Amino acid sequence: MLERILLPLDGSDLAEAVIPYGEELARKLGSEVILLHVCPPDHKLAHNMHRLYLEKMAELMQERLKNGAKVRSQHLFGDFAKVICDYIEKNDIGLLIMVAHGFTSLKVRLMGSIVDRIFRLVSCPTLLIRAGDGIQAKKKELIGRILLPLDGSKNSEVAIATAQELALKLKVEVSLYRMAKKAYYAPSKEDIVGDRGIDDEVIDRAEKERTQAYLKGIEDRLKQQGIDTASSVTLGDDPAKEITAAGREADADLVVMATRGRSPITAWAPGSIAHKLLASGDLPLLIVRKAA
């Protein structure tokens, strides 16, 4: 599934934050790495400089990869987002790695940016590295534990296969997580059911137990595949906040999740879970698209 990894580079230090992740995955998965630079029409006079830069980066990466993983460079012309999306479709790319806040030379922001345009169009899994994630490159192993948030829907479970493949090939642990939705706490029980009353803690406890049972079933399936797996549930009402806390608690290095879950807030849009995780979370985010 991850035979070819695409790393778009624009010559900036920020964009090069993807390189350590590309190298680690290529080294452990045996994937081919393709370094891609797209030269916009108004930069054609500098295309030879861009080509030499890309060839040098590919040469250095090839030297660092000792297992024979192939690295090659590709220098193309045109609209950045369109060229990348077309290249992915025509070359069977299994994973795209980009800096979510990157491409400073283009002076773009995450939402409404070229990154967002690409993300909306590509069909392959996309690993988004936040601007500060380059610090993790100092670690001996960039990915030692995966956090897999689920919301109980079939759509969210699309990410399980990708997390499973990574866990098996990287030999890392998977921490399953799901937020159990808190019951609504009214100022008084009479506001909800009159004189009968209701114990919101009972509702919370039942919801948490139901959620734990759901995760336990997936945990057992992954363990049968030989994957070291644990699961956790917390009560809450802000999924992005709870996922971030769960990642810290599990000491995870990567969040793997699907783009669409049970509710509209999981869509890729301002205020979505994915957007919030990139804006205020701690970890790189590998987003798996639901198949059409």
Dihedral of the CA atoms 159, 134, 98, 228 (nearest 10)? -20
Across residues 270-284, what is the average pLDDT? Answer: 75
Average model confidence (pLDDT) across the chain: 82
Poorest-confidence range of 31-40, 63-72, 184-193, 253-262?
184-193
Predicted TM-score (pTM) of the model is 0.84
What phi and psi, each to the nearest 5 degrees, are found at residue 67?
Answer: -95, 10
Mention the CATH class of domain 4-138: alpha beta
**Exposed e or buried b per residue across 137-146, where buried means at least 16 C-beta atoms within 10 angstroms of its C-beta:** beeeebbebb
What pLDDT shows up at residue 127? 93
**3-12, 150-159, 162-171: which has the highest mean pLDDT?**
162-171
CA 22 to chain centre: 14
Summarize pLDDT for 243-257 with one digit per residue, the tens. 999 999 999 999 999
Give the pairing type, strands 145-149 and 285-288: unpaired
Domain ranges of the chain: 4-138, 145-288
Categorize the per-residue pLDDT at 96 as very low, low, confident or very high, splitting at 50, 70 and 90. Answer: very high
Q: Quickly list H helices, the chain.
A: 19-29, 47-64, 80-90, 114-121, 158-170, 190-193, 200-224, 239-250, 273-280
CA distance 15 to 161: 28
Coarse DSSP helix, strand, coil percentages of the chain, rounded to the nearest 5 percent: 45, 20, 35
- Of 276, 269, 274, 278, the closest CA to residue 288 belongs to 274
The fold adopted by the segment(s) 145-288 is Rossmann fold (3.40.50)
Summarize pLDDT for 4-30 with one digit per residue, the tens. 999 999 888 888 889 999 999 999 988
CA distance 123 to 89: 8
Residue 144 in contact with residue 253, Cβ under 8 Å?
yes
What pLDDT shows up at residue 102? 43
The domains spanning 4-138 and 145-288 adopt the same CATH topology: yes
